Structure 1
Amino acid sequence: MPHHLMNLRHVPDDEADEIRALFEEHGVPYYETPPSRWGISMGGFWVHDNDEAARARALLEQYQLQRLHDQRKAYEERQARGESVGVAAMIRRHPLRTFAALIAIVVIVGVSLLPFVRLG
């Protein structure tokens, strides 16, 4: 019976590539199904054998802990350099684009709520 190891929905390409390399480096016989464009099927990495599933899950757990550590360190380094990715930083870096997006949001919300406002 197949064992689902990891969902591929919203997984960055570099992470999926690293996991493929990890499985191939350790000789894990896996197969992959892609996520659907419409979000109906999740896609993922799969194995058939129970023992291989346990080994692959252990490898994935180690990999994900290391990736978490690396990504957190990279984020903290960006924060230290002043390259934050918060709302205030986006407004400072791209004020016109942010203002245009805000106007678009207000227009969309206004058009969406217009029928309800007219009922009252």
Structure 2
Amino acid sequence: MSKLLLNLRNVADDEIQDVTALLDQAGIAHYWTEPSPWGISFGGIWVSDDGDQPRAKALMAEYQQARSVRVRAERQAALADGSAETFGTLLRRRPLFVVAVLAGMLAAAALVLLPFVLLRG
């Protein structure tokens, strides 16, 4: 029976390619399912054989550790050279978007807190 190795929710395309290549190199039979069009299922990478699951998980742990180190280094380099997106750069580049999102957050918080304010008064 197949076992889910990686849920593809918020997984970058390059990571999907890396993981499938890693499994191919290790000779682990796998397949992946597409996300549903309505967002109910986000898809996944599945290991076909139960016996390969522990080896696949060990490979994934090594890969994720290495990717974590690499991505953090890339982020630090981008922050150092000023090319990383920060709140300040987003505010300068898309001020109306930032103001609209902040207004939406305030409106949502006000709607949530409104019953408490009305019951108190």
The aligned residue for residue 14 of structure 2 is 14
* Alpha-carbon displacement from aligned partner over 1:15-37 (angstroms, at most 9, x marks no partner): 10111111111111001111213
For 2:8, give the aligned amino acid.
Answer: L
SS of the counterpart of 1:10? coil
**What is the distance in 1 between the residues matched to 2:51 and 2:100?**
54
For 2:77, give the aligned amino acid.
Answer: E
**What is the distance in 2 between the residues matched to 1:34 and 1:70?**
27
**What is the distance in 2 between the residues matched to 1:43 and 1:96?**
34
The aligned residue for residue 47 of structure 1 is 47
Where does structure 1 lack aligned partners over 5 or more consecutive residues?
none
TM-score by length of 1: 0.76
Number of equivalences: 113
For 2:90, give the aligned amino acid.
Answer: M
TM-score by length of 2: 0.75
Q: How high is the sequence identity, in percent, across the aligned residues?
A: 38
The aligned residue for residue 75 of structure 2 is 75
The aligned residue for residue 61 of structure 1 is 61
RMSD: 2.6
SS of the counterpart of 2:57? helix
1:97 Cα offset (Å): 5.6
Go from structure 1 to structure 2 and tell me whether the alpha carbon gap of 1:32 and 1:87 turns closer, same or farther (over 3 Å shift).
same
Matched, 1:34 2:70: no
Go from structure 1 to structure 2 and tell me whether the alpha carbon gap of 1:93 and 1:64 turns closer, same or farther (over 3 Å shift).
same
1:102 Cα offset (Å): 6.0
